[in-house]
Structure 1
Amino acid sequence: MALDALPPAVVDWLRWRYRRTQIDRPNSASWYKALTQDLQRRIELAGPRPTGTDYSEHKFASAPRTWAVSETGTTSSSRRELPDTPRAPKIVRGKGYTRPGRPRTQPADENEFDDLMRVYRQNTAVLEQIMSAARGEAKQLAVLRTLRDYLARPADVEACKRWLELVEAVQVR
């Protein structure tokens, strides 16, 4: 049987069936079934092969539609036509963040230690319960630094948020 005599849909199906059963995953039984059973059924369902270019003779009401590029402004919703979305800004990390993860608590130098002790003396009543809950010098230094940052910039949202989280954590216990 010549391929030119078969309907185009059947020829296309036959090519794909051959590729799947003989090239991709060799399966002689499936290829034999396709040739002996499925091929005849598909030919009957497809009908005769269209001849010529006059589509009015066949079951088609009009010529097949083809896609064409419009010269006017496009109104389609293709994502290719949209401008590229800008990249998100790089994350700016605060002091002490040189690598991913939590920053290490840095020991206080002499000047900073004096400043932190001044903050502690001025806010002893507030810090009493918090400092007793913070175990270890590094955690106590972190508490004092958080309060110092909040007192220095009370309008700073991040400093306020860090201080409130710390106070809530102590009150929950």
Structure 2
Amino acid sequence: MPQPTMLTMQFFTDEMFEAGTAHESYLRYWIANRKRLPNCILRINRGMLPDHFFTTLTDAIDLHDARLQTVNADLPNVALHFQGDNHGALRDIMLHYTGVTACTPIPHRLLADEPQSDLMCHETTIVEVNKFNHRMLFASSDIMSIDFTALGIESVDHPQPA
């Protein structure tokens, strides 16, 4: 399986975090490229971009602290199932990448149900016309990277515990 074009984070690096410029730089990238980035990709960037960037927050997906539950990589398709938070309630998030041309190997530790497997931050960038890269940095310092052409999203919200 080919490796993705970039195995490090572009915006959410230690240096940019320390300088306090990571989110601002990512926002500038999105503003400059908004017309070339599909709405489905914007939808998964809640928490990485400021709330005012979204038309509605109801449909926005926040992947911060989400835990990877399952991976199905059958190129050219990759499906990731995360469990995340939706205002204190559980949200199942299924990301379906199609036209995948590269995907990093997924370490088994990312499928462990422990804090080190939480997704800390992620970024989506343009590789070329109609081809994108989604890089995800986990608490374990592992980076998952997927080059793809389209993204489908499903989410299921579960009731808040009583």
TM-score (normalised: structure 1): 0.23
Name the structure with the higher strand share: 2
Name the structure with the higher helix share: 1
Whose Rg is larger?
Answer: 1
1 or 2 for the larger relative contact order (CA 8 Å, sep ≥6)? 2
